[in-house]
Structures are given as structure tokens and as C-alpha cells.
Structure 1
Amino acid sequence: METREAKPVIFLFTFPLQGHLNPIFQLGNIFFNKGFSITVIHTNFNSPNSSNFPHFTFVSIPDGLSESEATNPDVIDILHDLNSKCVAPFGNCLKKLISQEPNAACVIVDALWYFTHDLTDKFGIPRIVLRTVNLSAFVAFSKFHVLREKGYLSLQESKADSPVPELPYLRMKDLPWFQTEDPRTGDTLQRGVMKSLKSSSGIIFNAIEDLEPDQLDETLREFPVPLFCIGPFHKRVSPSSSSLLTQDMTCLSWLDKQASKSVIYISLGSIAAIDESEFLEIAWGLRNSNQPFLWVVRPGLIHGTEWIENLPKGFIENLEGRGKIVKWAPQMEVLAHRATGGFLTHCGWNSTIESICEAVPMICKPSFGDQRVNARYISDVWRIGLHLENKIERVNIENSVRTLMTSLEGEEIRKRILPMKETAEKCIKLGGSSHRNLENLIAYILSF
């Protein structure tokens, strides 16, 4: 009897934050469709729902986080706690998996797992790193030590609009910034990530090199390891949910009732929080714009409140159905809906590339990390959106929404994003840059 050759196995070590789970599961599906078996290593903290991925094998490791550590609002502290507490559990798990799996090809780890290089070297298995930012933000992060040494990071308020000589297009206020009580912990994280990247067997980006050719050249000069830009991930695979929150699917039937390109969609991501005053200014700005809106207000988004209980009495009723507020939404489906005409976003890279792929122009309200870099590129370089530069006030929200959705300027922005969508579609087809890079990546993994 003919025996079927066993599939090569890729171990994915997921990082337990929403913006990192989505791309790594999309990547896992890409490799599965190319003939690999996928084993997912994950923490108990923010454990993914394995039933959504029955074709993967799931292995959990204890993360050792106490309840207070797991609910710490300082995300950088959580990152460091996970990297210190998961060393032994990950090492034990990896050792066991390698001993059981003769066809292990490599480990793909999220870049935030900066401790993993010593263990993968110890066990003799190649380690490829997934970086979930785009190339422009990656270049800015790679210069973090220079920015710190030159004192730029402390100038973000006093000289907010001054240019950054080392980073064309960016201003001081656009530099990557970590949401942490102690800036030194951000520096430690950055050093750990950079060391891990430079010692890896390769780096994968959910990015499109055709959109960022200069940044690709600079990255290739800085990092002497193979780089693979194979985005947009989500356009290569069928949708499957890695959401940690329950998605409210009623928003899709609500969108069905709205006019084409009429709805402004608002979502500020899975981590950032805003003050009650900012929340109310956004609410009144949306109401006063007279534009239909779909607004994601995640529990925990507003400091000191459960959900939307601080909205003025009668606010929602007075909208007369023109607005809908949900706790979480199926974002890719929302952006792809014919009724969605604009996106008020925190400018995380997942949201940005999803918006580009549907030619939905953006209004930028970045908070931290790569979001500030992305916002500047969206507004000033690619010119496919507007930037809320100043304090959040209702008149700014109202004017931005009206400009994007109903003005000639908004129409010009819409025209500029269309070629970017076309580039995203072409790059994953035969002969496109991302298609070619994926084929090279697969050949590279099989050569180990």
C-alpha cells in the first residue's frame, strides 16, 4: 500500500492581544492551504477559541499571570510579565512537540515574544518572526534607540510639529510611543524585540512592498535576515474569527438598510481607552454631522464607565435610527459593506490595511505605538484620509465626518485610495509581489 507523505508542521506561538491574534491566525490559514500542518501554542490568558479552527492543533501553556497582572491597564507591563513567566512553559512545550513531531519545519513567533530566540537556538529549530506592523512603522521602531539618544521622544509635546530628520514625513508627535507608566519599560521592550528580530531566521510582514518601496529598501539595509512581505493576509483566506469579543452581527442587517457609501464606521481598536469627555465629544460630533454612523464602543473603552450609560438621556432615541452603537463588530464585513463610506479609526495596521483593501477612506485618531506613524502616512503621504490633529472636540468630529463623506475633498480622497486597493488586489495574484514572496517563503521553510 502507498503511504501518504506526512505534511511539514509549523508551530505558531500566538501573542494574546487581539491585534496580534488576527494576523497570526490568518497566516496559519495561509500555510494550511499550502499543505502545512499547523500547531498553535497559546497562553491561558486571552486563550483563542479553538473551535473556530478545527483544522489546527492547539496546545496551551500556563502564563502564570495573577488576576491583578492580567487586568493591569499598563499593556507594556503585561508584555514583560508574559515574556518572563512563559520562558519555562514555552521551553517545555516546544521540547515536547519537537520530540513528538519528526516533520517540524519551524516555529513562527509573534515579535512581542522577544525571549524565544535562546530556546529555539537551544532546540535547533528555525525561528521566523511575524511583525504585525507595516514597513513604515517598522523603520520608525528600528530607529527607536537613536530617537531616544537624541532626545526626540521627550520633545513630542514641546516641539510636536517639528520634523524628524531621520524619518522623512514624520513629526515629533508622530513618533512611536508606548502606553506605559515608565518609559524605560518601553525601551526594554524595543531592545528585546530588535535583538530577537536580528537573530531570527526571517521576518514576515502583513504588508505590501509595492506601497512602501523606500521603507523596504531601508529595512533590507538594517536587517541582515530574509524578509517576506506577503500581505494582505486577510484577502488570501476565508474569514474565520479569532475575535476575543463577541461580534454583534446585527450591525450588518442595519447596514443593509442604509444608502450606499453613507455610513461612517467608528472603532478605536481593542486596547486604547478614552476619557468620558472625549467620548461625549465624539458622540455629539457624530450626531451633529447628520451622517448615519455605526460606532463600536468596546466595554472598557471609556475610563471609569461600564459602557454607554453616560450618554445624555434620549440621545439614541433622538437619532431616529440614524446611528447604531455596538460593543464589537465583524470589522472586515463592515468595511466591505456597500453602505460603509468612511472609517474613523485608531490606525492600527490591521484596521488600516483592511480599510485600504476596501477603498474606505479614513479619519485618524491614533493613540500609541505604530498608530501615530500610520496616521501621518494616511493623511500626509498617501493622502487617503484626514487627521484629527488637535484636542477631540465635537466641531472637529462633525467637520471631519462631513468633509470625508459629503465634500469634494472627500471625493478626491476616495479617488486616491482606489489605486491602493487595486495594488492590494494585484500583489497577491500570480506575478504579484506578495504572491512571489509567499512562494519564496514556502521554499525557504521547506529548505530547513
Structure 2
Amino acid sequence: MGLKHVLVLPYPAQGHVNPLMHLSQKLVQHGCKVTFVNTEFNHKRVVNAMNGKVSLDGSKVELVSVPDGLGPEEDRNDHAGLILSMERTMPSDLERLIRDINSMDGGSNGITSIICDTYMAWGLEVAQKLGIKGAIIIPSSAAILALEDNIPKLIEDGIMDSDGLPIKKGKFQLTPNMPNVNIADMPWSCFEDDFSKKTIYHYLAKTIKWSHLSDWWLSNTTQELEPGALSLCPKILPIGPIKESPEFRSLGQFWREDHSCLTWLDQQPPCSVIYVAFGSSTMFDTNQFKELALGLELTNRPFLWVVRDEDSNNSNGNTNHHKYPDEFQCTKGKIVKWAPQQMVLKHPAIACFISHCGWNSTMDGVSNGVPFLCWPYFADQVIDKTYICEVWKVGLGFDEDERGIISRWEIKKKVVELLGDEDIKGRSKKMKDMVMNNIAKDGNSTHNFNKFMKWLSE
């Protein structure tokens, strides 16, 4: 059989594009050609961050796009509006794209399989219609997919209603060796209005049904990290940690990475730097931003802080641009707009990671043995924090004051506490070795990935 040609379809958010791009790089290393499908809106950002290129020299990853159905002025941060628009318009556009590719060169280099982000699992219906094999990859923890796969049981047990809104208060546990979940922290509960909560809940319930059109559920996790979720959902195949390849560095980034921070890290003592990054979606109000800035300064340690500039994530002109407080000197810190995170966390100067606990960041930190200070923002991040602090015990959380703010004093206190805790540091290092063993030549994740590649080739 000729070259395997895989179409990869991420949900249009940076935290989804990244892991699917890293998977694409892995596929290329195993002899595949990849067509990577962003929405037009995100495709422009990625190409812009790469100085106008649509593929890297010699890369077998080609970037293409389909419209998301929204107008240029509409807000892509309105996830309810975005998913309704995508579901309405994208399947037919994706089908057209595949038919066009498959008609080129007499079909000799056509798409042979599709790998969809779980949250784009409608792509499996398109694959089925065209007689192409399909798989999904989970960009969040296996626990989140297990939770969504058990939606009918949660309704039956009276935990929530058929719109995903809570009936009870308190916590529940899907299985004894999974973390407790607060009913108020369901991934769809973070949205402010009931319309968004219900729309996103119903969409997630549908994505699970679509996901069952495939027997291949790939996940950026490992057996040791999530044994409970993996036993509850045996269909999930752990292939993590999925690491980026240096030669593909910037492919898929929405913002241009600032590599000057690596040179700056070279000048810092080992295990001295606080790395602060909150992903691509977190927004701070002015007071919280001020406390964070002054808290970092109060630690009297070097820090590397990623602050997105005038959040271009907002297509409707909203900004995440904050004025640094007058008393903020930043004498020991470096601030960048976007960082090459896996390279940063691998650096010996890093002491700890103040994180929003998105799953990519969680896996990046864990697989580099870096202890966490957890500051979740929304969706699945609260459950990831529970894993970090309560299950794996490789991090600490922050406590809000009576105003609902994490104060500068709390930031300083927790940094001191974390960096003085030899047990947490020891567990972090041990967990790194355990997790990284999975991608060694005879590791569990390597074995699983090879099994998947065999299926792709059949």
C-alpha cells in the first residue's frame, strides 16, 4: 500500500490544535502524510505566526482550512454560537474538501483515514459516508471523556437533569479510584448563561454518540496517571505523553513564540524560576492581574510570565490588555507574549509552574517533573487540578480571599510552601520517570501507538 494520508481535524482552540499537531508530527515520523484542517479564522492566525508558510520545509503536514460558518465580526469565544455554526456548516464543507483531495492525481494520494478531536467527532459521520476509516483523539483528560460517556448514568442517578443542569449539590465519584467531582464543576457548567450551558452540554452528549462510530479513542495520558478512568472506559487507548518534535516547532501556534526566554533561562540558577502561563483562554480582571504581578514580585525570585498581548483570541475587539501596576518593577522577571512551553518546562532553571491546569499544560508539567501551583480558569481545568493536588500530590492550590481574589500574599505564601516541600518535589521527579517510561521503545504508550499504526495501515 502507498503512503497513508491522514486528515486531522482539531476543535478550533489553541489547546486542541496543539496536541493534534503533536500527534500529526508523530504520524509523519511513522510514514504518514497529514492534511491538517483548521477553521479559516485560525488558519490565518497559524500562517501569520509562521510568516506566511502553509507547511514547513520538507514537512508532510499540509495546513488547509474550511469556514466555521461565522461572520468575520462574530465572537469565536462564544463557544455556544461557534459550535452551533460549525455543526450547521462544517460537515458538508469537510466532505467537499475530502472529495476534492481524493479526486486529484486520479485518487492516488487520497485521504485514507480521519482523526477527529473528540469535540469534532461529527467528522466520523463524514468519514463513514465516504467509506474512510476514522478515529478520535481526546485533547482533555481521559476522566473528562469517561464523565461525558456516563452522562446517561448521571441523569439516571438524579445528579443532573436532561439539560445537564445540576439537581443536587456536592460531589460524586464515577468509580472509587477516580477523583471526586463537584457537581458545580461539570465542564459545561463554567459558562455564565443557561443557554450556553445547555447548548454546550447537548453538543458534548452528541459528540460521545458520534465518538462511538469508531473503536479507536486515542488519549494523551498514561495508565498510571488515570487508572480509574481507563478501567471505566476501556475503549480509551493511552498514547501519552505526546511530545512535540523540534523540527516542527511552530506549526499550529496561534501566536509567534518568543524564543528569547530560553536564552534568559540559561542565565538563571538551576531550579530558581517560577514559570507562569495560563494558556490561550484565561482572562483576568484588573484587580486580579495587579495582585498576580505584585505577588510574583513579592516572591523575590526570577519569574517567566506569559502575558498574551491584547488578546487577539477575541475577534470582536474585546481585549485582555492590562496595565501593569505602577509599583511593579519586574527587576527579576521576564515577560513574553507566547512561549515554547515544552522547551521552557524542560529547562533546568524552572522551579515550579503556576498554571491554569489545562490538560496539555498538566501533561507538559508532569512529564518534565515540574511541581504545580494550580489556578484553574474553567471547563475541565478544575478536575485536572484535583488530579494534581489530591490524587498525584504534585502541586498545591491557591485560596481566594473574601473578595474572591488570590492576593499577592497568598501567591508568595504558596510559592514558599511549594518550593520548601521536598515530598512534592520528590513525587514530581518520580512521576516524570514513570510517565516518560511509557514512550520508551518498549513502553505501554509506544506499544499502543504501534497497534494504532498497524490498524491505520491495514
| Class of the TM-score when normalised by the shorter of the 2 chains | 0.7 to 0.9
Q: Distance in 2 between matches of 1:75 and 1:26?
A: 24
The one-letter code sitting in structure 1 at the alignment partner of 2:7 is: F
- Give CA-to-partner distance per residue, 1:24-77, whole Å, 9 cap, x none: 1111111111111222233211103323463323332233321232x2432232
Pairwise CA distance, 1:148: 5.7
Does residue 175 (structure 1) correspond to residue 186 (structure 2)? The answer is yes
| Matches for 1:214-229 after TM superposition, within 5 Å | 214-220=228-234, 223=235, 227-229=236-238
Pairwise CA distance, 1:171: 4.0
Match of 2:12 among 7, 13, 16: 16
- In structure 1, the residue matched to 2:101 is 97
Q: Distance in 1 between matches of 2:369 and 2:337?
A: 24
Q: Distance in 2 between matches of 1:134 and 1:171?
A: 13
Pairwise CA distance, 1:23: 1.1
Pairwise CA distance, 1:79: 2.7
- In structure 2, the residue matched to 1:338 is 348
Compare 234-243 and 29-38 and name the one that shifted more: 234-243
Relative distance call for 1:326 and 1:147 in structure 2 (3 A) is farther
- In structure 1, the residue matched to 2:417 is 403
The one-letter code sitting in structure 2 at the alignment partner of 1:7 is: L
TM-score (norm 1): 0.88
- In structure 2, the residue matched to 1:124 is 131
Relative distance call for 1:177 and 1:274 in structure 2 (3 A) is farther
Q: Distance in 1 between matches of 2:10 and 2:367?
A: 25
Q: Distance in 1 between matches of 2:115 and 2:336?
A: 34
Pairwise CA distance, 1:21: 1.0
- Give CA-to-partner distance per residue, 1:208-262, whole Å, 9 cap, x none: 1232222211111xx5xxx421111116775522211111222222212211111
Q: Distance in 2 between matches of 1:377 and 1:151?
A: 22
Q: Distance in 2 between matches of 1:42 and 1:306?
A: 24
| Matches for 1:320-359 after TM superposition, within 5 Å | 321-359=331-369
| Matches for 1:311-322 after TM superposition, within 5 Å | 311-316=324-329, 319=330, 321-322=331-332
- In structure 2, the residue matched to 1:288 is 298
Q: Distance in 2 between matches of 1:420 and 1:51?
A: 35
In the alignment, is the contact (CA less than 8 A) between 1:361 and 1:385 conserved in 2? yes
The one-letter code sitting in structure 2 at the alignment partner of 1:354 is: D
- In structure 2, the residue matched to 1:233 is 242
Structure 2 gap ranges (5+): 48-53
Structure 1 gap ranges (5+): none
Pairwise CA distance, 1:163: 3.0
Q: How many equivalent pairs are there? A: 427
Q: Distance in 1 between matches of 2:112 and 2:246?
A: 22
Helix, strand or coil for the counterpart of 1:246? coil
- Give CA-to-partner distance per residue, 1:321-369, whole Å, 9 cap, x none: 2112221111111111111110010111110111111101001111222
Does residue 81 (structure 1) correspond to residue 85 (structure 2)? The answer is yes
The one-letter code sitting in structure 2 at the alignment partner of 1:56 is: V
Helix, strand or coil for the counterpart of 1:120? helix
In the alignment, is the contact (CA less than 8 A) between 1:140 and 1:176 conserved in 2? no
- In structure 2, the residue matched to 1:204 is 218
Compare 377-386 and 104-113 and name the one that shifted more: 104-113
Q: Distance in 2 between matches of 1:147 and 1:277?
A: 38
Does residue 445 (structure 1) correspond to residue 456 (structure 2)? The answer is yes
Pairwise CA distance, 1:119: 1.9
Does residue 40 (structure 1) correspond to residue 45 (structure 2)? The answer is no
Q: Distance in 2 between matches of 1:143 and 1:372?
A: 19
Helix, strand or coil for the counterpart of 1:210? coil
The one-letter code sitting in structure 2 at the alignment partner of 1:399 is: K
TM-score (norm 2): 0.86
The one-letter code sitting in structure 2 at the alignment partner of 1:116 is: G
Compare 280-289 and 229-238 and name the one that shifted more: 229-238
| Matches for 1:264-279 after TM superposition, within 5 Å | 264-279=274-289
Does residue 163 (structure 1) correspond to residue 171 (structure 2)? The answer is yes
- Give CA-to-partner distance per residue, 1:82-128, whole Å, 9 cap, x none: 22221221111122223443464311111221332332221111111
- In structure 1, the residue matched to 2:51 is none
Helix, strand or coil for the counterpart of 1:344? strand
Q: Distance in 1 between matches of 2:154 and 2:200?
A: 13
